[in-house]
Amino acid sequence: MGFYGEQILPRVTDRALRGQEAARLRARVTAGLSGEVLEVGFGSGLNMPFYPAAVKRVRAVDPSAVARKLAADRVAASTVPVEYIGADAQALKLADASVDHVVSVLTLCTIPAVDRALAEIRRVIKPDGQYLFLEHVRSADPKVAHSQDRWEGVWGVIAQGCHPNRDTFPRIESAFTIDQVERSEVPFGPKIVRPYVLGRAIAG
Q: What is the separation, in whole angstroms, between the first and last Cα of the chain?
A: 37
pTM over 0.85: yes
Which residues have a Cβ under 8 Å from the Cβ of 145 and sit 6 or more positions away? Answer: 138, 139, 165
Using DSSP's 3-state secondary structure scheme, residue 102 falls into: strand
Contact 201, 172 (CB under 8 A): yes
| Listed residue (42, 32, 203) closest to 126, CA to CA | 203
Q: How do beta strands 35-40 and 99-105 pair?
A: parallel
Domain boundaries, the chain: 2-202
CA–CA dist 43, 41 (Å, integer): 5
CA–CA dist 56, 81 (Å, integer): 7
The strand pairing partners of 196, in sequence order, are 136, 184
Q: What is the mean pLDDT of residues 18-34?
A: 95
The string of pLDDT tens digits covering residues 56-92 is: 999 999 999 999 999 999 999 999 999 999 999 999 9
Which pLDDT does position 1 carry in this prediction?
64
Q: What are the E-state strand segments in 49-194?
A: 55-61, 82-86, 99-105, 125-136, 177-185
The string of pLDDT tens digits covering residues 86-145 is: 999 999 999 999 999 999 999 999 999 999 999 999 999 999 999 999 999 999 999 999
Q: What's the CA angle centered on 160, arms 181 and 37, to 5 degrees?
A: 45
Q: What's the CA angle centered on 89, arms 88 and 94, to 5 degrees?
A: 95
CA–CA dist 62, 112 (Å, integer): 14
CA–CA dist 139, 169 (Å, integer): 11
Handedness of CA 17, 20, 21, 24 (dihedral sign): positive
Which pLDDT does position 194 carry in this prediction?
96
The string of pLDDT tens digits covering residues 148-184 is: 999 999 999 999 999 999 999 999 999 999 999 999 9
CATH H-level superfamily of 2-202: Vaccinia Virus protein VP39 (3.40.50.150)
Q: What are phi and psi of 76, to 5 degrees?
A: -65, -30
